[in-house]
Amino acid sequence: MRPAAVVLVLALAVSTGGTLSACGTDDKGGAAAAPASSGPVAPPSGDPAERAAATVARFSDEELVGQVLMPYAYGNDATTVTGASSRENNAYAGVPTPAEMITRYKLGGLILVGWSADDPTAGTNKTSNVDSPEQIRKLTGGLNKVAGAGAPLLIGTDQEYGAVNRIRTGVVQLPSAMAFGAARNPAATEAAWQAAGGDLAAIGINVDFAPVADVLGPRGSGVIGSRSFGGTPADVAAQVVAATKGLTAAGVAPALKHFPGHGHTTADSHEELPALTQDRAALDRDDLPPFIAGIQAGAGMVMSGHLDVKAIDPGTPATFSSKVLVDLLRGTMGFKGVVVSDAMNMAPAKKWPPGEAAKRALLAGNDLLLMPPNLKQAQKGLLDGLKDGSLPKQRLVESATRVLTLRYRLAATAQPDASTLDTETDRAAAQAASAAAVTIFRGRCSGALVTGGVTITADGKWGQQREWLTAALAEHGVQVKSGGTTVRLIGYNDGAVTASSKDVTVAMDTPYALKTIQGTLIATYSSSQASMKALAAVLAGKAKAPGKSPVKVDGLPASAC
């Protein structure tokens, strides 16, 4: 585990000559030199907000616009990419490499993405540029080198763990948010998320688009599912606070999402505009508490959702509603940090051309526009808005200042060394949370739950989980062989399951499907290796199942134990 004092700064040399802007130009307008070394440097002096305001006052229009755009890029390296990646970058941004995207557009940040077929957000991920910690650290270092000195870029990713998990090797793997909700131990949550944040910081990622602060409604929003900590506002709020504190202590800015709450919806905002139909009292009671708690815990970002909030601004996605983002989030709730949009290449945001959508999102109160579908057009829309007065310059100055303030705040101490990645202490924190999550909905609460060995059945996509469970059972002397107790592993939307009273069914995602299944019923809420190890210990009778379901499952108790 990394001490709380360790916070992120990417290795950036601070010029002793002119005053540097965050975009790599000195106060005389010349190009800033690249950092002199890759080692730790002294933190920048002065109040971050004051420094940001003074720097932004010297920005050109292009520099202002660059601060509020956070695109993706093709390629696993800052300066060397394949021909295919070069072509895609040129189509998207008019440049061949991620490094040239940073310099041409004077960007304040970039999002790293990874594509996976079972990811509910897969449709917006047009590329994948996360492979190994070594590759990511080299990529982020290269991006910051071309950005120049003064402050680290905001380099973010969606590392929620569970269903949405970009980096799957070489860093500690936490269970899903819902597993933490079942464990009901905020202290363990904070420790695990600090461990995870330390790994992100060590590879140069200083923004995590997590934790999910959505509270699941009775229908259990499919696109959110186990990405949520649960269905009770107070319990979700406690977990959000813990994850927020953990990431922040590691030097990573958390982004609470999806404001003002995606859990009481049934539609998928990647494909259409979901409606929040509850009245304002219900919104205040059921959806906002985790966001309020996370803000009070120091979250540096809040992500606006592509959600139709009927009680506040019917028909307008929250991302494009000043009533939601200015009046509610900044006014009533007092949020002072960076409001980042959900991906601008999602269907509700593509109602308008990229340039018009970017301008509307800024006017509504967003400070950082995530993943515009076309970077060239988004930039042009904002510059044209400045020229014709439809986008007041002061609105852009406010956002650029907030973004740069966060960048300066992240430039506090040294970037963790790569040797701190995925340590035994970190893995122990993930294992403890996973073990505390295991829930028995029906079955014995002590002793072995399997006899005569085990037969594991699962959909083909769960081959890795079968291997992990097989190995973990072997450590407890339980053999996987034909004729033993059948253990069925199921994930979200795996289809109907038929089981006898002698079988064991394990939900590795939301537990809702268990309500129609016979036999022993268990939930891990997560398919991570740590969760499979925890499951094996319970099946073998070597550990209790202390978890309690954080969501209501019709006809079943929160725990049988």
DSSP 345-387: TSGGGGGS-HHHHHHHHHHHT-SBEE--S-HHHHHHHHHHHHH
Cα 16 to Cα 372: distance, rounded to the nearest angstrom: 36
Question: Which range is least confidently modeled, 97-111, 135-149, 437-451?
Answer: 135-149
The answer to the question of residue 239 being in a domain is: yes
Structural domain ending residue among the three candidates 386, 420, 454: 420
Q: What is the pLDDT of residue 92?
A: 96
Structural domain ending residue among the three candidates 420, 448, 471: 420
Residue 529 has pLDDT above 50, yes or no: yes
DSSP H helical ranges for 389-423? 393-410
Q: Residues 377, 335, 361, CA angle at the centre, nearest 5°?
A: 20
Confidence of residue 483 (pLDDT cuts 50, 70, 90): confident
CA distances for 245 relative to 166, 308, 393, 494, angstroms = 21, 30, 34, 34
The answer to the question of residue 26 being in a domain is: no
| 249-308 residue pLDDT tens | 999 999 999 999 999 987 566 666 889 999 999 999 999 999 999 999 999 999 999 999
- The active-site residue, picked from 270, 308, 426, 503, is 270
User: In the annotation, is 270 catalytic?
Assistant: yes
The answer to the question of residue 374 being in a domain is: yes
The answer to the question of residue 15 being in a domain is: no
Examine the domain organization and report whether 343 and 386 are in the same domain: yes
Residue 219 has pLDDT above 80, yes or no: no
- CATH number for the domain spanning 191: value is 3.20.20.300
| 316-337 residue pLDDT tens | 999 999 999 999 999 999 999 9
- The active-site residue, picked from 158, 308, 342, 367, is 342
Is the overall model pTM greater than 0.95, yes or no?
no
The parent domain of residue 296 ranges over: 48-420
Examine the domain organization and report whether 407 and 454 are in the same domain: no
Confidence of residue 23 (pLDDT cuts 50, 70, 90): very low
Whole-number percent of the chain with pLDDT over 70: 88
The answer to the question of residue 530 being in a domain is: yes
How many domains, in total, are found in the chain? Answer: 2
The answer to the question of residue 152 being in a domain is: yes
CB 267 within 8 A of CB 121: no
Residue 38 has pLDDT above 90, yes or no: no
Instruction: Give mean pLDDT, residues 41-69.
Output: 86
Examine the domain organization and report whether 381 and 529 are in the same domain: no
Mean pLDDT for all residues in the chain = 89
Examine the domain organization and report whether 410 and 442 are in the same domain: no
Examine the domain organization and report whether 384 and 414 are in the same domain: yes
Residue type, 304: S
Examine the domain organization and report whether 397 and 482 are in the same domain: no
Examine the domain organization and report whether 96 and 166 are in the same domain: yes
Q: What is the pLDDT of residue 554?
A: 94
The answer to the question of residue 28 being in a domain is: no
Examine the domain organization and report whether 267 and 328 are in the same domain: yes
Examine the domain organization and report whether 369 and 474 are in the same domain: no
Q: What is the pLDDT of residue 116?
A: 56
User: In the annotation, is 417 catalytic?
Assistant: no
Q: What is the pLDDT of residue 10?
A: 32
Question: Where is 457: in which H helix or E strand?
Answer: strand 454-458
Q: What is the pLDDT of residue 46?
A: 81
CB 100 within 8 A of CB 62: no
Examine the domain organization and report whether 457 and 335 are in the same domain: no
The answer to the question of residue 38 being in a domain is: no
Examine the domain organization and report whether 135 and 230 are in the same domain: yes
Instruction: Give mean pLDDT, residues 419-425.
Output: 94
Between 394 and 39, the more confident residue is 394
Examine the domain organization and report whether 410 and 457 are in the same domain: no
